[in-house]
Amino acid sequence: MSKILHAAITGRVQGVGYRAWTLRRAQELGLQGWVRNRRDGSVEAVFKGDEDKVVQMLGDCWRGPRSAVVSEVVATAVPDEHWPDFSVRPTA
């Protein structure tokens, strides 16, 4: 079954390669969606794919790349916008 979740990730998650890490990990899991930095210093992402893979990705977001220090990952359901792949979006 397919699942779509928006993740808001806070902590030391900018300037540590978090977006590039998220892109690689999401592609490894075969997910669709996107990731971007927020002006408030957080990172946000949308993950779409098999439920077990999306849940795994959310768990992985707590770890992030080696230099990241994640303080919170908040996930909420969002509607399907039919993303063709997983991409990095500009800062919002």
CB 9 within 8 A of CB 18: yes
Tokens of 91: 């800062």
From the candidates 12, 19, 38, 66, which is the catalytic residue? 19
89 is catalytic: no
From the candidates 24, 36, 37, 89, which is the catalytic residue? 37
Q: Rounded to an integer, what distance in angstroms lies between the CA atom of residue 30 and that of residue 63? A: 19
N-to-C CA span, the chain: 30
37 is catalytic: yes
Q: Rounded to an integer, what distance in angstroms lies between the CA atom of residue 26 and that of residue 53? A: 9
Annotated catalytic residues are 19, 37
